[in-house]
Structure 1
Amino acid sequence: MFSIVLNIVGTLLHLYLAARLYSLDPVRRRIPARSWWAGVFVVWLVYMAGVHIGDEALDWRWWPGQFSLTWLGISFVMSLCLLAADVASGFGFWWRAHTQTLRAAGAGAGLLLAAFALSQGMRAPVIVEQEVVLRDLPKSLDGTVIVAVSDIHLGAQRRSAWLAERVVQINALQPAAVLLLGDLVEDHPVGEAQLAPTLRGLRAPLGVWAVTGNHEFYGDVDATVAEFEQGGVRWLRDRQVELAPGLALAGIEDIGRSMRSEGSFTGGLKRTIPAVTGTATILMAHIPAAQIVDAAAARGVDLMLSGHTHGGQIWPFSYAVQQRFPRFIGAHDVQDMTLYVTRGAGSWGPRMRLWQPGEIIKLTLRAPD
């Protein structure tokens, strides 16, 4: 079903972009129509091949899959700008004298925005610092630094070498604990010998902890869990631990499949935190679903950490994501609990981000005055 959507949407964007670019006089004067549309057809064939081949195999099959995702993102951004030019000119029915100028400006703006989105998608994630007051945190733990990372999506686009650079970033923050909030892989296990030693390079005296995201379940979740465990990562799958005296860390299994079935999906949270807690508690839950957020706050959780939304990743998808998850980015107060939804460190689909750069979260825990 997903590939069908990519086929239809990608084809429509591709044809619209090709038609609008060829309507520009400088293009039409220099390139014969037959040559232009032959080239458009060849690019479309490569795009369609990439959608069906995918980018999982790291051999010749990698580049068509990567091309199709990247071209989809570029076509979308450029089409937005050209559509704005079309609306301004009434699709050529008014302001005819300025139609060429508007379309040329739209094409130029689209190219610049697409290049900017690619640079944001490929650059290192930024460090975002946040102080959080936990009402039950002992004074002895005031100032404890926790680093949270989500949605790294290791796979065809990002491998252990990319992760090694993130380890350097994280260690520079001198965290007491590192929390991995799900979607650590694109789908299948990473399968690299370098993964385990790279993960063991993380320096966190209170440990490196992880929860599953929806993408872990698109492949062999148990194999993914095992290969991260070889790197010293400990998983919280509907359980909680004492991170330090007076500070609990809980993690629930991803709820993506339960959400799709439209049934209740708070069972894992109820098993993990069965009653109201009087201990300072941090909850890791990949998806910031409203039912989970409200139930966690009612159980006395002090801080809930989630990812999944990517902050919309490419504007204006942020508006659609916000319809699904009203608290879709940043810090939110929910009763006495703080919810933080991170944009994630990686990306999904096109390696592009528009106005929503990847991030790593440095959280400084504070005891109440």
Structure 2
Amino acid sequence: MKKFRRTLFFALMITAFFLAGLLVWIDLILPMHLPSPLSHVPLAVLVLALVLLAWHLLRIHVKKPSATRVFITFGLGGLCIHLLCAALTKDALIWIPGLLAHEQTICRWFGLIALMLNFLGIHGALRGPLTKRVHIPLPPQLKNLNGFKIVQISDLHIGPLIRRGYVAKAVNRIKKLKPDLIVLTGDIGDSDPAIFGNDAAPLQELSAPEGVFYIPGNHEYYWDAKAWIKVFSDLGLTPLINQGTWIANKKIWLGGITDPDAGDFIPEHRPDAEKAMGTLKTDATLQILLAHQPKSCFDAEKAGFNLMLSGHTHGGQFFPFNLIVALVNPYSKGLNQHGKMWIYVNRGTGFWGPALRLGVPAEITLIEFTA
């Protein structure tokens, strides 16, 4: 079932890119009326993007791919997405009276803007995560936790593009923050752990007085969740699989659940917020739940947690997906109030797919509690 779902996903991705490329060619490139031989360049880019994407997906299990090839593959894919947005925007605007006569000029400008945005997005992705500082207020009975600091990273996506160097850069930035607790909220590994597990090695340098804890996300399950969990456990991270533990001298109960889709891959890994809470029900402590997807907030609040830390959405990563994820998730980024519970959604410490971060920078979250 896992192999079938992955194959179906890859097939749909290739088909979608083919149709998108066809639309870009017909609605954006052809109306540019570029002079020869310049007119052949956009077609070559579209064809190369599709061929490289198909080649990458067909050989993804064969061996460790070249980072350069993968970067070019997904970079061209990202460019195609921006060109598609340009084509769709042009199609929407061209119906305004008088604009059809300027279609050639509009298409050329939109194509240039798409190219510039793509380069800005690449720069945003490769510069690595920024530190996002968040202050969460405490109720009076928990004022003894004033100043307690948590570093959260999420959606690192260690794999063909996120290698040891990127991981080490993130780890070095975390070490400078000197947190009391470090949590990793899923999608840290995103490829075959037998091939890319060694790229996670810098994570063993993470340390905090109250420990370093980890939960798996949906992408670990797409590959081999148990193997990824072992990789991270061997590096000193403590996995929380539908369970919890006391920290901060029993002032904080830290629970962790699996991804909502986990049960489709490992039946015994179905998420269970009640189990992660256990029998603990008290106002004298802070109850924090690590849950990869924001939609787990309903179960988390019902179980009695005060705060949920999530990721998954990447904040959309780049336009127009930042608009889409806001529609399909209860919360897509940042600090939000859900009933009596706070929920913080990390925008992702790495990136997925194209190396693009446009308007939605990658982040390392530094959470500080204030009385």
Name the TM tier (shorter chain): 0.7 to 0.9
Letter of the 1:201 partner, please give it.
E
Equivalent residue for 1:75, pick from 74, 80, 83 = 80
1:1-369 correspondence runs (5 A): 1-19=8-26, 20-25=28-33, 27-31=34-38, 41=47, 44-54=50-60, 57-59=63-65, 64-90=69-95, 95-135=99-139, 138-189=142-193, 191-193=196-198, 195-196=200-201, 198-245=202-249, 246-258=251-263, 268-275=272-279, 276-278=281-283, 279-289=285-295, 292-367=296-371
Question: Residue 342 of structure 1: CA displacement?
Answer: 0.9
Determine the C-alpha separation between the residues in 1 that align with 2:18 and 2:146.
Answer: 55
Cα separation, partners in 2 of 1:171 and 1:99, compared to 1, 3 Å: same
SS of 1:131 mapped into structure 2: strand
Find the aligned partners of 2:151 and 2:317 in 1 and give their Cα distance: 21
Q: Secondary structure at the match of 2:213?
A: strand
Q: Say whether the 8 Å CA contact 1:330–1:340 is kept in structure 2.
A: yes
Greater mean alpha carbon deviation, residues 156-165 or residues 142-151: 156-165
Shift of residue 233, structure 1, vs aligned partner: 0.7
Secondary structure of 2:294 counterpart: coil
Do the aligned residues in 1 keep the contact of 2:197 with 2:231 (CA within 8 Å)? no
The answer to whether the Cα contact below 8 Å between 2:158 and 2:200 also exists between their aligned partners in 1 is no
Displacement after TM superposition at 1:120 (Å):
1.6
Distance (whole Å) between structure 2 residues aligned to residue 32 and residue 112 of structure 1: 19
For the residues of structure 2 that align with 1:365 and 1:346, how far apart are their CA atoms?
Answer: 25
Query: Higher mean Cα deviation, 311-320 or 71-80?
Result: 311-320
Structure 1: distance between partners of 2:227 and 2:114: 41
CA distance in 1, matches of 2:223, 2:85: 34
SS in 2 for 1:23: helix
Residue type at the aligned position of 1:46: L
One-letter amino acid of the counterpart of residue 288, structure 2: I
Residues 49, 76 of structure 2: 8 Å contact kept: no
2:4 alignment partner in structure 1: none
Q: Structure 1 CA distance, aligned partners of 2:332 and 2:42?
A: 42
Provide the alpha-carbon RMSD of the alignment: 2.9
Structure 1 runs of 4+ aligned residues shifted over 6 Å read none
Secondary structure of the 2:136 match is: strand
Deviations 1:326-357 (A, max 9, x none): 21211111222110011111111111122211
- Determine helix, strand or coil for the equivalent of 1:90: coil
- For the residue of structure 1 that corresponds to 2:300, the secondary structure is helix
Instruction: Give ranges in structure 2 of 5+ residues lacking alignment.
Output: 1-7
CA distance in 2, matches of 1:318, 1:156: 24
Question: Post-superposition shift, 1:192?
Answer: 4.9
Q: Please give the alpha-carbon distance, in whole angstroms, between the structure 1 residues aligned to 2:196 and 2:291.
A: 25
Q: CA deviation at 1:295?
A: 3.0
Question: What is the deviation of 1:175?
Answer: 0.4
Residues 339 and 29 from structure 1, CA distance in 2 versus in 1: closer, same or farther, beyond 3 angstroms? Answer: same
CA shift for structure 1 position 158: 1.0
2:240 is matched by which residue type in structure 1? L
Between the aligned partners of 2:145 and 2:46, the Cα distance in structure 1 is: 61
Q: Is the 1:55–1:64 contact (alpha carbons within 8 Å) kept by the matching residues of 2? A: no
Size of the aligned set, in residue pairs, is 358
SS in 1 for 2:35: helix
State the alpha-carbon separation in 1 of the partners of residues 62 and 364 from structure 2: 26
